[in-house]
Amino acid sequence: NAGVTQTPKFRILKIGQSMTLQCTQDMNHNYMYWYRQDPGMGLKLIYYSVGAGITDKGEVPNGYNVSRSTTEDFPLRLELAAPSQTSVYFCASTLQGARSTEAFFGQGTRLTVV
Amino acid sequence: AQTVTQSQPEMSVQEAETVTLSCTYDTSESDYYLFWYKQPPSRQMILVIRQEAYKQQNATENRFSVNFQKAAKSFSLKISDSQLGDAAMYFCAYREIGNEKLTFGTGTRLTIIP
């Protein structure tokens, strides 16, 4: 199993550009998440999804959009990139309803906005 | 909203010694999960250990064990026989039952001294 796969691993954007961070999982997990991790900080939730067609905002959703058209994929879109969006982005997934189920994380995308 | 507090930004320990990382959390729920994740320089988030709040017994995984004090809302991680490969950022995380969002602390950077 590949688990959670994120692409790209690194990206540099110019202010005002847009991009999509891709995330796919092959574990048939219903919950998927996007987190950002700023230097020296913990992970903050941007958006999450409880299943295909359903998304909801987390702590820090401004400047981002998501969609969930399939169980496997949960892309994160940045419109009009700003320097404040320089961060490491993690996608994660988990299975609701199973006790003690851990969240599985992708390897992260380091994004720099200049 | 739930909060997770890690009051030790940095810790260091001699190789082969024991170290304890602290975590406290705030919740009004009675059933939830607690996790410790390790993040080495590779950025990968790796689950170290999990605890279910309804279980009184403290979880153990080889050299890793927790001291779960539910009334005090405390969840510390003990690493015995510290090894060089234990050097990493360690994050404490909380998750409610039925609301699968993970809330993270700000992390503790652990250094192992040879």
**Cβ within 8 Å, pair B4-A96:** no
| CB A22, CB A6: distance < 8 Å | yes
What is the average pLDDT across A13-17? 97
B102 inside 8 A of chain A by CB: yes
Among A8, A103, A101, which Cα is nearest to A48's? A103
**Cβ within 8 Å, pair B43-A96:** no
Model confidence at A25: pLDDT above 60 = yes
Model confidence at B50: pLDDT above 60 = yes
Model confidence at A75: pLDDT above 60 = yes
B5 inside 8 A of chain A by CB: no
**Residue A95 banded pLDDT, cuts 50, 70, 90:** confident
Nearest CA in chain B to A42: B106
Model confidence at A100: pLDDT above 60 = no
Between A11-25, A58-72, A92-106, the lowest mean confidence (pLDDT) is in A92-106
**Residue B111 banded pLDDT, cuts 50, 70, 90:** very high
Report the first-to-last Cα separation within chain B, whole angstroms.
Answer: 41
**Cβ within 8 Å, pair A108-B101:** no
Percentage above 70 pLDDT, chain A: 96
Query: How far, in Å, CA of B75 to CA of B56, rounded?
Result: 12
A16 in the Ramachandran plot: left (φ > 0), alpha (ψ -120 to 50) or beta? left
Amino acid present at B109: R
pLDDT of residue B96: 81
Distance from CA of A53 to the nearest CA of B (A): 17
Model confidence at A37: pLDDT above 70 = yes
Is residue A20 exposed (0-12), middle (13-18) or buried (19+ Cβ within 10 Å)?
middle
pLDDT of residue A99: 61
